[in-house]
Chain A
Amino acid sequence: MNIHDNAALCDKLAAEYVLGTLRGGARRRFEAHASGDARLRLLIAEWQDRLLPMAEFAGAQPVPARVWRSIERRLGLRRRYAAWQIWRSESLVLWRSLSLASVALALVMAGVTISTLQQRPQVDHVAALLDEQARNTLVLTADSQRRVLTVRLLDPAPVASDKTLQLWAVPKDGVPRSLGLLDDSGVTTLDLSAAAIGADVAMLAVSLEPRGGSPSADGPTGPILYKGNWVRMM
C-alpha cells in the first residue's frame, strides 16, 4: 500500500499514531515512512498539537522536591546562581530539617544546656549554622523580648585581617538583609530586629566580606561559609 498518494489515509494514520491506537507492524511501518517524509512528520506534529493538550485534563499536581534533585544529579548540573541564592538550588525543607536535627547537638557544644534554657525562657529562637561539611559552626540565640541576638562561633576559622564575617537573613523574596558583622574571636551580641526573625526569613547565612561589611546593597559579595535556619523554641 502506497500511503504517500492518499492524503486522507495519511491524515487518519497520523491521528491514530498520535492517539496511540496505531499498533504493532502498522505503527512501525508508519514511523519508517515518516522518517523519510517531511509532509508526514508535519501531519504528526499537527495531530500532536491537537490531541496532546488532553494531557492537561489530568490536572496539575505538586511535584516532590526529590524529583528535581534526581534530575540535577543525573545531568550533573552545576549550580550557577549567585552564592547567596541558596534557596533557588537547594531545598529549604532539607535545610530546616538539618537545622532541627543538629540544634540539640549545637546547644550542647555551645554550652547552652536545656536547663539553662529553662531558666532563660526569653531565648525563643535558636539556629545552628553549618558549613559545607554540615558541621555545626555557629549557634544563634535570639531573645525577642529583650531584642538581643547572640552569635557564638564554636570553632572559629581564622579570618584574614582585611576580612570580616557578616550575618544575613535571607528572605523568600527580595535581597538578603544584613543583621550585622561578627566578631571573629567568639561571641557577638547584636540588636535583634524583625528583619532577623520575620516570618519571611527563609534562611540564615554568614558570608566572608571585606572589612566593614558587604559594599553591595544587594546582599553578600563574598562566599557563603555557613547557613542554617531558625528553630522556634515555643
Chain B
Amino acid sequence: MPDFQTIDPEQLRIWLQGAARHDDAAFRALYDATSPKLFGYALRILGKRELAEEALQDGFVAIWHGAAGYQSQLAAPMTWMTTVVRNKALDVLRRHDGDVEVGGPAFDAAVESALQDPRANPIEALLVSHDAKALAYCMSTLEGLHRQVVGLAFFHDLSHSEVAQQMAIPIGTVKTWIRRSLERLKTCLTKGERA
C-alpha cells in the first residue's frame, strides 16, 4: 500500500488535471494513491466487499469523466473524490436496499476509542492526512453520544428520524445534537485546534 503521508494535495491536483486531459498514467497514479482509502470508506458504508468494489469502480469511472469539471478553487482534491465515491456508494446502497445492514454503531471500537482521545491512541496510524487528523481531534472534543450520532448519519446516510430510531432517542434531541456538533466542529476546525 502506498505511504499516504507522502501524498500532498498539490500532487493529487496535478494528477487530477492529468486525468482531465485523459492522461491515463496520471489517472493510474491517482488511483494507486487514493483507492485504498476510498475502498476502506466504501466498505464501511456498504459492509460487503463486492458492493464496495462496485462503488469504487463507479466512482473512478465518474472521476475520470468529471475530472475536467473539478473546480480546484472549491473543495480539495481528496474531498471531491471522496464525495464522488460516497455518492456512488450511496447509489449502490439504494440499489441493493435490504442486502446491507447498518449494524449498530457507526464506528468500530478501535475508531471510537481513537476518537475519544487521539493523543493516547494510535490515531496516527489510522488517519494520516492533515485534514483527517484535525477533524479527529475536533471530534474527540464532542461528547461520545453526539459523536456517534454524527458518525451514524455520515457513514450510513441516515436521516434524523433514522438516527433517532437506531439510537432510541427522540428526533428533537438528534436534531439538536447534530446542529450543536456541526457548530462545534466548525469552530474547532476554524481555530485550527490541534491534538
Contact = CB atoms under 8 A, between A and B. Distances in A.
Given A48-B83, A56-B37, A56-B129, A61 B154 contact: no
B57 A57 contact: no
A57 B1 contact: no
A74 to B, nearest CB: 5
Interface string A56-73: 111111111011101100
Given A15-B186, A57-B136, A63-B39, A21 B153 contact: yes
B11 interface: no
A12 B86 CA distance: 21
A77 B22 CA distance: 9
A32 to B, nearest CB: 18
A45 interface: yes
B40 interface: yes
Interface in B52-66: 53, 56-57, 60-61, 64
Interface string B32-74: 0001111111011000010001001100110010000000001
A59 B126 contact: yes
Contact of A67 (B35, B115, B128, B154): B35
B15 interface: no
A7 interface: no
Interface string A13-56: 00110011101000000000000000001100100111111111
Contact of A56 (B35, B76, B107, B132): B132
B181 to A, nearest CB: 9
B117 interface: no
A62 B185 contact: no
Contacts of B186: 11, 15, 50
Contact of B24 (A49, A60, A78): A78
Given A55-B37, A57-B115, A74 B57 contact: yes
Contacts of B86: 52, 55
A41 B159 contact: no
B154 A51 contact: yes
B158 interface: yes
Given A16-B178, A67-B53, A67-B57, A58 B185 contact: no
Contacts of B128: 56
Nearest to A88: B28
Nearest to A15: B182
Contact of B75 (A16, A49, A59, A62): A49
Contacts of B27: 77
Interface of A is mostly: helix
B74 A42 contact: yes
A120 interface: no
A60 B39 contact: yes
B41 A21 contact: no
A146 interface: no
A54 to B, nearest CB: 5
A81 B25 contact: yes
B79 A80 contact: no
Contacts of A11: 186
Contacts of B21: none
Nearest to A79: B24
Interface of B: 1, 4, 24-25, 27-28, 31, 35-41, 43-44, 49, 53, 56-57, 60-61, 64, 74-76, 78-80, 82-83, 86, 107, 111, 115, 126-129, 131-132, 134-136, 139, 150-151, 153-155, 157-160, 163, 178-179, 182, 185-186, 189
Nearest 6 A/B pairs, CB to CB: A58-B44, A45-B74, A60-B36, A56-B132, A55-B41, A53-B132
Interface of A: 11-12, 15-16, 19-21, 23, 41-42, 45, 48-64, 66-68, 70-71, 74-75, 77-81, 88
Given A52-B83, A63-B39, 8 more contacts: A21-B178, A52-B82, A53-B82, A53-B127, A54-B139, A55-B86, A56-B126, A70-B57
